[in-house]
């Protein structure tokens, strides 16, 4: 990777990039069709229906005040498994769809710059009732899980990929958010990348707060081995790469 100065790195946080962008040249303004709202999947892969919001039985009401007050990063988890309903709730709270505008855009439970939603959610499931340990992906349009592969050793591989942060292996489900930058670049070009990072923060914060409704906890993780996680997810590290993780467990 080329040497970057602190000054260069700080530019990422600013919006000065906008002054140098010719928005007439973005793919959107050139009339190129938008990329899909959801990464396409192999229809032969197993899909698991999730519990829909109106069917939830076990998600208890929690006041916003209580959730904000009680939230903290949790690194100790009980061995209790998550139920499929609890996992369904956490997925809806972090990336669930509320309204869809054809194949162009969708509103979700989190905000996103230009409603582009340039993330996919992978899940390393370790202890979820009825599901084998392995790698899954959330399909927000279908509100289903896609089974990528089962692997009884995945917890050990994940710990190595998060630089030995052992508490990850004690969680029930690890949320791993991958960025697909073109979904945002299509509209914003070089101004896409900072807002993808901002979007991801909103998603993780919703996870922290949603955990409060199911006696669970989480801890944001931004320190990891990029190549190792991307390899675990089976993504190419260029058009799609890991940006953030959060292990969830009962507390």
Enumerate binding residues for ligand FMN (CB under 6 A): 72-73, 165, 219-223
Query: For ligand FMN, which is the closer residue by CB, 46 or 72?
Result: 72
Q: How far is the CB of 195 from ligand FMN (least distance, A)?
A: 16
In the bound state with ligand FMN, the residue whose beta carbon lies nearer, of 188 and 244, is 244
Min. distance of Cβ 74 from ligand FMN in angstroms?
Answer: 8
Q: For residues 165 and 242, which CB has a smaller minimum distance to ligand FMN in the complex?
A: 165
- Size (the chain), residues: 251
Closest distance between ligand FMN and the C-beta of residue 211, in Å? Answer: 12
Question: Residue written as tokens 């916003």?
Answer: 64
Residue 221 CB, nearest approach to ligand FMN (Å) = 4
Q: Token pair 């162009």 is at which residue?
A: 104
- Min dist CB 60 to ligand FMN, Å, is 22
Closest CB to ligand FMN among 51 and 229? 229
Task: Give the span between the Cα atoms of 70 and 48, in whole angstroms.
Answer: 32
Q: What is the DSSP string of 68-110?
A: HHH--B-----SPPBPHHHHHHHHHHHH-EEEEETTTEEEESS
Residue labelled with tokens 């899940």: 123
DSSP string, 183-248: HHHHHHGGGHHHHHHHHHHHHHHHHHHHHTTTTEEE--B----HHHHHHHHT--SSSSEEEEEEEE
């Amino acid at each position: 990777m080329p040497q970057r100065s602190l000054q260069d790195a700080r530019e990422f946080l600013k919006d000065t990039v906008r002054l140098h962008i010719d928005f007439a040249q973005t793919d959107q303004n050139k009339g190129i069709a938008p990329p899909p709202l959801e990464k396409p999947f192999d229809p032969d892969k197993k899909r698991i229906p999730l519990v829909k919001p109106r069917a939830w039985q076990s998600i208890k009401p929690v006041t916003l005040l209580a959730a904000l007050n009680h939230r903290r990063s949790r690194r100790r988890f009980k061995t209790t498994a998550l139920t499929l309903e609890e996992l369904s709730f956490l997925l809806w709270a972090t990336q669930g769809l509320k309204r869809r505008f054809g194949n162009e855009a969708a509103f979700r439970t989190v905000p996103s710059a230009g409603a582009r939603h340039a993330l996919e959610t992978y899940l390393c499931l370790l202890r979820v009732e009825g599901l084998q340990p392995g790698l899954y992906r959330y399909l927000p349009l279908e509100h289903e899980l896609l089974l990528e592969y089962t692997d009884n050793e995945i917890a050990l591989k994940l710990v190595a990929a998060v630089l030995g942060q052992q508490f990850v292996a004690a969680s029930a489900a690890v949320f791993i958010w991958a960025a697909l930058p073109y979904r945002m670049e299509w509209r914003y070009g070089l101004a896409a990348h900072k807002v993808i990072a901002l979007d991801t923060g909103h998603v993780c914060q919703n996870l922290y707060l949603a955990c409060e409704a199911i006696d669970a906890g989480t801890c944001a993780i931004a320190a990891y081995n990029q190549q190792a996680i991307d390899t675990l997810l089976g993504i190419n590290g260029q058009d799609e790469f890991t940006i953030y993780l959060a292990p969830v467990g009962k507390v």
